[in-house]
Structure 1
Amino acid sequence: MIRRIASWLFNRYMLELLGLVALSLLIWFVGPLVFIQPYQPLGSPTVRWWIIAGLFILWFLRLLLRWWRAQRMNEHLMTGLARLTSPREADGTPAAGSEEVAELESRFKEALDTLSKTRFGQTEGGLFGRWNKRYIYQLPWYLIIGSPGSGKTTALINSGLDFPLAAQFGKRAIPGIGGTRNCDWWFTDQAVLLDTAGRYTTQESDAEQDKAAWKGFMQLLKRFRGRQPVNGVIVTLSVQELLSASDAERAQLAQLIGLRLSELCEELTIRFPVYVLVTKSDLLAGFNEFFGAMSREERAQVWGFTYPYDEKTQRSPASDPQAASALYMEEFDALVAQINRLLPQRLMTEPDLARRSLLYALPQQFAGLKDVVRDTLDAAFSASRFKEKPLLRGVYFTSGTQEGMPFDRVMSALSRRFALRGRLPADDVPQQGRSYFLESLFKDVMFNESGLTGRNAKKERQLRLMQAAGLCALLLALGGAALAWTLSYENNQRYLNEVADNAGTLRQAVEESKATDPDNVVALVPMLNHAARVAQSSRFEESAPLGWRWGLLQVPKVQTAAHATYLRLLEDAWLPRLSSHVARSLRQVSTGSPEASYETLKAYLMLYEPDHFDATFVKAWLRSDWENTLPQHLVQAGLVDQLSEHLDRLIDGRVVVSAQPIDATLVAEVRQRLAQMSPAQRAYSRLKQLLNTGDKLPPDFSVVRASGPEAPQVFARASGKPLTQGISGLFTYDGYHGLFLHELPKVTTLLAKEETWVLGQAKGRRSVAQEVLTGQLANEVKRLYLMEYARLWETFLADIRPIRTASLEQAGEQARLYSSANSSLEQFIRAVARETTLARRPDQQEGGSSGSTSSWLGEKLQRIREEQHQLSRLTGKPLNVGGMLATGTLEADIVDFRFREYRRLATSNGSGPAPITASLQVLNEAAAVIASARQQVIQGGGVPPSLSGTLEKVRSEAKRVPPPLNSMYEALATSTSSFVGSSVRSTLGGNLNATIGDFCRRAILGRYPFTRSATRDVTTDDFARLFATGGTMDEFFRTQLQTMVDISTVPWTFKQGVDGTPVGGSASLAAFQRAASIRDVFFRAGGNTPGIRLEIKPLDMDASISQMVLDVDGEIVRYQHGPQIPKAVSWPGTRGTGQARLQITAAGAQNTGIVTEGPWALHRLFDRAQILPGNSPERFTAIFTIDGRKLRMEVTTSSVLNPFRLKAMEEFECPDRL
């Protein structure tokens, strides 16, 4: 318990946490006492809380970083080991020993997935126990070498160490006891033990392969644990090989062990401790008898000795061969003496005489190892074989398990001398499985000294060099920063002193300016010059050098403050003088120069109306005024440039308003004087008269000029004017761009744009909507011109109409002329589009892609239209087009927008022909269909199915094209439809009467069931010929009328032609609709024989009737006051007699009934009954009265159309005309 508490309290992380708490308390209580005059940096509790929180956050991040680095290094180790490949010779063949290295790698990779995420260590440790656990990379690593069978693996298995991965991989890497063919990796909770193959030490099985495998093994360690490949080497020497081998064999073994250790020193370049384990001590006669009674704790002790080691000097007496030998002899004698001290007690407690004899001989047996072990160690650790001798830490005697025959060196010597047989009895051979003197040796000796191992000299040199380089870089950085800060401080201090001198000069200039004329703008120039240069330094021009910066630069802050002061002087002191100067110029301007008065008034008002402020104009006007009013010697001295520079600083990118009160009286006087200027209408009249009388007028536009010689065959004018007379050249595209725009004075545009606010025509402050809606004089002249331009073109185009046609043949010819290649119609549309697209610049290609003109124009016009609608709605005023267009694109809105359809038709979208081509293609198709329809009508056929659709396409196209195309398309479609409809009515009317009318009247007129009172019946053949599917009525409708009839309406109607008139009348069409109903009732199953199916269910009959029998052409329905069972019957029946008979049997009376005959016998039978409607259309009740006796039956037909009371049959009349 105490140990757990101590481990918890003295845990490194707990100590760090306690240190942080102490530091936090120091900051909290002592911090407020720290003053850095005049500041108290830790006076605020919030600041202290933040600092303390920051310390804990940094500590926690450090823990996370440490954990992340350990995990990352461990994963790199695991990943690197997993990627190992077998070595190969230069020619690509496997190198010697590659099989061994590959086997080492494959064995190790078995546990990689688990090891990469496993952490080892004690589970105790309290709150920070998890942080104490370490990855494989962080554990100490020990290498075990020894000859085959020396007991390396046995010692590990019985060492008493904890193997955390035993559950997954077992406690032993290779099953069985004795001999490790390949290297095994033993992962304990305190260290990693690398158990090498014994042949790696002796290299006797295959020298070349064993040597290569051993070298590869060392490189593997060095590669993945470069700074400290191993923390120690454990050399195992078994008692068996020491006692049974000859002197030469022991010398060879010592030489091999020394050679392996030398190779490790050279390859790993570190100095590591070596622990010599004399294993299989149980083979000494008397060992088991002497130590067998020990407890587990006693057996866990160390039996051996550890050489002294000075941690300060990192030296050990064992480094000296002679001293090591002397220490060995001394320590070994101490071990023998200890056995001798314990011997009497063990002899007294052992009752067995044979075991006593063995106990008694153990000191001599153990002493026999003294010289053997010493000689082996002296030979193995000879100084001549090492460049840097490993650190021999101690010699220890152990036993992993007890098996085999013990050695009795005394008996062996006597046997050899006296020829005796000195063999232990078989019953006395020990067979035990306990370990001796291993557990504490590993845990308390070896693992506790894991830090004795030196580091890789090369790696350490590299690390020290890197650390030194980093330290030097840090020192250089700190020194450079200190030097830079020192220089920056000195430079900035000199700069501040310089600015202070400039500020003093500026204050003096400000005082001197107060005594000058308040209207004199020139008098403030010296003060403004000083203010502009107050933050400037003679030591740099634009930006401060690098030596001024480094976090101490004061120049930007000073320049900002200086610039603010300079602007304040410009606005508060100089701007009022500017407005007074402009007002004085406005008073002095000549009344005979309205333009100069206007410009001066505009400049004066801009200084008071920020919404109309124009910095460019103000600067230009003031500079011109200064150049004209200032004395020439001042102008030549550059004073105007200085004034302009200060003016630029004042108004560039800013809107300024003078604090000087505006002179309203002066403004009103000047406005009244300027109000006498001529209005825009007068200016436009003069301009138009001037242009019309000039010699630059372009040719007039006419239909013939635009369409070519075929124009008279296509066009006419509704007014009767000739096609050669058109529109004046002034109102053409060339007249606008080539003449009007060049002659329109630029000043008119400027005056119109500024008229509202300069002349003060609007009273009070105006809203944005009112500003947009208010007409502006600048565009009024142009607007008036464009309005007249659009009006003339609209009147002209409205006057164009197509040539009238008098027949279907002429209509087809007209369609051909319209759609022919390069037709007059196409040329005319393209010419109109060119003349009405004024927004297109003269340098743009005509008829090209609309991307540069149409797209932009469409977006612009859409936005303008939306704004116009919104503004009209908001203001509640009618839209003032002139005002709106004064701020927009007049050409686009007044002209281009009105005639946009012509431009759409004539302009290609860049990926195909212009829409006019597709539009005329519709007419081309119409021409072909009209020709086909004319031939079909002549031959007596009906309306071609494609005609209606084609004419509808023409009419639809007419809705998408502008005048005169729309009227031309509409006239073509209407006239064609009218001509075709008239011809079809005449032709089909004759055919109808010939094919249906005459026969129909002969077949059904005055016959039953169409005439209920008739005695003659319509024959089934005639009925079928008329009404069956494919009969005359059905066939005529399908082939002649169906495409012209709308059967979705009730009653059916003829579809209207393109001219709006139907092909036929409603009377004849009603006959075909009734015929369809008759067909659906009597010919439901198809075929040429009429028939019906129905279900008859007797309901009741008078009590006097004993039986009722209904015979429907052989299908019997019988009823005797029993169950009411419906019976399905059909007409005609199965017998084929054409007879329907209803018979009743009454008690005491003869059979009586009703009999009807003929093809409609069933209809006639039900005509004798009283019919009552049922609860659905297909159901009714028939009541028969026979000899005063009544019976009732329910009849259900197969259709909602009752064949016995079919309205279509009762109202049917034979068609004779359309």
Structure 2
Amino acid sequence: MGCHPALGNKLSPGQLSFPLEFSTIKPALRAFLATLFETNPFQYKPIFRGFYFTSALQEGETSSAAATRIANRFGLSAESMPKPQSAFSKNGFFLRDLFSKVIFADRQTVRQFASPAKTRMRYATFFGFVAVLALALGGWTWSTVNNQQLAENVKADLDNVVRLQQNRNDLQSRLQAMDVLEDRIDQLEQFRRDKPLAVSLGLYQGDRLEQRLLTEYYNGVRQILLDPVSQNLASFLKDVNAHPDQLAPLNRTPDAAAIPVSTHSAMTASGQGGLYSDASPTNVEDAYNALKTYLMLGDKRHVETAHLTDQVARFWRGWLETNRGNMPRDEMIRSAERMITFYLSRVSDDDWPMIDQNLGLVDQTRENLRRVVRGMPARQRVYEEIKARASTRFAPMTIARIVGENNTALVAGSYAIPGTFTREAWFQYVQPAIREAATKELQAKDWVLNTSAHDDLTLEGSPEQIQKALVTMYKTEYAMHWQKFMQGIAVQSFGSFGQAVDAMNRLGDPQDSPIRKVLETAYDQTSWDNPSLFNASLKRAQSGVTSWFKQWFSRAPTGQLNANIDINGNPVEMPMGPIGQEFSALGRIVQTGDNGSMLKGYMDTLSKVRTRFNVIKNQGDPGPGARQLMQQTLDGSGSELADSLKYVDEQMLTGLTDSQRKALRPLLVRPLMAAYAVVIQPASVEVNKVWNAQVYQTFQNSLASKYPFAGDAKVEAGAGEIAQVFGPDGSIAKFVGTTLGPLAVRRGDTLTARTWGDMGLALTPDFTNGFARWVAPLAGGAAGASAGQSSAEPQTVFQILPQPSSGTTEYTLAIDGQQMRYRNTPPQWTNFVWPNPSGSPGATLSATTFDGRTLQLVNEPGRYGLEKLINSAQRKRRPDGTFDLSWTQGNVTVAVSMRIISTSQASGGSSDAPQQQSLRGLRLPSSVADVSAAANSVAATNTASSAAPVASAVPAARPATAAVSNTGGAQ
């Protein structure tokens, strides 16, 4: 900072000495600054802006410290120093610049550093903004990558669809391609409803991808579904119009809301004889429903999902069967079901595919059907109109709606009840509509036939009669639909034991069991026509009122009172309707009494089954526990399954009519049958393990490589070794008596699997066919082991008749020390006994030629010598039961005849071998129970229940072995 004197202006000494004075205070200023900026925890660190010197009004004398210092340095006298001058100024110095250029100009800087909290807030805000920006950039990057991955996955799916159909034009590849698209569209639709954070943040591309996939999918729907169905519908309607005179009037009009059968039921219906499968062109109802379907597929404003589910499956099934090729039928049905459901679920889409209608065909069919419908009674038309309107207002009752989507894989239904026949429909619409129809004129419009009608039922009788007739019609059909629904419910197969444990954990849950939900829902939907609850409440209320009246009468001195009250407390019960009559048993099961409800008792039995399955699972290997449970079930004691079945038959179903039993018993019993079916497989594995350990390994290690089990073996099996495995006291007989005995029935030497609900072990044919031979008393060479235990060894007595032999002078046959020597003399029968305990075991045959040579044709030492002798011969059986045996060596042939006098062995029948029970070449099977057949029985239980849902018998799978079945228990 300096001063620049203006030319001609007189400067004061203070101004001239200011630089010197300023340099003088520099050390003090430096010390001040150092002290000011020292670390101080009690105040905020100051911001150094600079030093500013100002001077206000000046008064007094000026003294110069610099002049004094110079005088002292150079030794000048004080007199020579200039005298201080008086200073007076009316103006200040640097004040204007201080305020205008420093204080006012830096007011924002001062404000910025005036509050430490605000400074920290500014820092926090800045770094927070940076963090948010970084997080946003990271999130957008993450979302971009995920959206790119999603787009690549969709592209991969489209490539997979192309690859599946490349060089293939079969139905299987096309349905598989549609399944791929459905899976991806379902995922994108889920993303649209609830976008995951990974693909959102404003960058979601799924809507564009979904639209692209829907375009491809709808193209496939037109080719695979709509074209065949529309062609079949058009052909069917043409057949209807070809014979309009055969359309006889109906006793009731076609159901405007056709009974919706589930897709699976429609797909697996039995009739496959015609193109339309169950639809007849002379049946007015079939024609009406076909026309309705044709119109719905061309105009989605009238679409009814339940109706199309049934009719599309009906008119598509024939084309699917024709084009199925090598595709498994179950797989085709599953894919077709899913396609129909997926297609109908997207009816609200703007580009939902529809068919092109033949308007001329529609008009002609309408005209032919109008002629038939005109002759129907007005009461019937009104009733059908009420049903049609109700079906559009109330959702169908399905098993999925009752048990929830999570349990549809566990409990399935083959029938869906129209929404018309639900409790909500009755109270909210049908009952008021019937009451109105009985008292007023109704106008109805049928969009299918494009007709309108005016029906006044008051002309047919009193309102009470009309209302009673309509209500009876409705309740009768209501009961019919719910009967079909209950009979069509099936517990799905469990597959494996682990899946069975999971399924039983849900089925046996006392509070959330799907079976409990079904029964309680059915009771709630049918109890409104059963006044039993009201009668019970009325009885309790009347008992209280009656007691009060009795007390009042006892206090009354005289007089009579006429009142319509039963003093004995017997209420006048309301009559039960058709629905209540059919489902009264359901109310008896669900209602809670003094000892609880039967449903609670049933759930308790299922809970015990669940506990038993979990115990078996926790054992690690389910085999021993499964075999024990199966044995206890067959015995009927100690088994939770047998106890549950007994509870159902003896308590829950007692006193029920046949129709009530048909509706309730399958639902109650199928979980037990499915649980028992899944136990068979691990039990079969366990039986095979025991067989392998006790019998098969012993046979393989000690006998399989020896004669007679190995025909070319040189080492013979000892009689004791054979007796350890075969014979009445062998390990096979012991295995059957201990391990297999509780699971099978032995009648003599025939084994039959015991069954429970037509299910049991599937014994292999090799085991059942060979069992009698394996446990028969040992004979021949193998009988030595039992000879020491009995006084007489089983023997075979036979005779040999020699035949003349050219080229020999004589030949000798020796069997176990018994010898026959023949010299071409007249032959005679020679007696032999085998085995011969007094002779040396073995068999030899030698011949002497004309030149004196001795030929050894056969030489078989050992206990099996006779067997080897016979096996080495050429054999022929004669009609009289004798055998011709011959041996040849070179040009020498020796022939004899043999006849058996007595034997302990079975007859040979028509075989050419005299020894029928020989153990030669015998092999034991490695397993006695067919595990694959046991696994198939699980699926068979579900198949049986689906194929015949109305049968009262428990669904069962008959094992491969012959078995006498007993549905209610074991044999």
TM-score (norm 2): 0.35
TM-score (norm 1): 0.29
Higher relative contact order (CA 8 A, sep 6+): 2
- Whichever of the two has the greater Rg, that structure is 1
